[in-house]
Amino acid sequence: MGRISDVLRGKGAAVCTIGADEPVSALLAMLTEHNIGAVVVVADDEVVGIVSERDVVRGVHRRSSALLGTAVAEIMSHEVVSCVPEDDVDSVMRTMTEGRFRHVPVLVEGRLAGIVSIGDMVKVRIGELEDERAHLHSYLAAGS
């Protein structure tokens, strides 16, 4: 069973962040430029929220075109579920599925150290299953 630290080692620890006072238009530029689905909102090097494509869609529904000049703080999720590098992938994946969110910031001693997505988790899980399949195939081939 993999750990979050394994996921970060494979994908890197770079995280796009934005300030809560930045306009949604800056958020949209960041999402597009980096081809990502969520950005961590920080203030004084602390995670204060997370804002995703879904938050933008909900904001457009509520505010229409006036959303672009609105501060990110108005649409971000204030309650952020995070994990630590020592957490196991299955546990974090279960939390993401139950909470119906696709991105989890990784914190080390309260500081942002990375971010994992449900796609990252699926990729790790598929790799584990492929390794297990290969081992079983080798075991069966050796016994013939």
Rounded to a whole number of angstroms, the distance between the first and last alpha carbons of the chain is 29
pLDDT in tens, 33-71: 999 999 999 999 899 999 999 999 988 888 776 788 889
Question: Which CATH class for the 4-143 domain?
Answer: alpha beta
Give per-residue pLDDT as tens, 72-101. 999 999 999 999 999 999 999 999 999 999
Rounded CA gap, 4 and 109, in Å?
Answer: 15
Widest Cα–Cα separation across the chain: 69
Q: Determine whether 71 is exposed, middle or buried from the number of CB atoms within 10 Å of its CB (0-12, 13-18, 19+).
A: middle
pLDDT digits (tens, 9 = 90+) for 8-39: 998 888 999 999 999 999 999 999 999 999 99
pTM of the model: 0.82
For residue 43, the model assigns a pLDDT of: 93
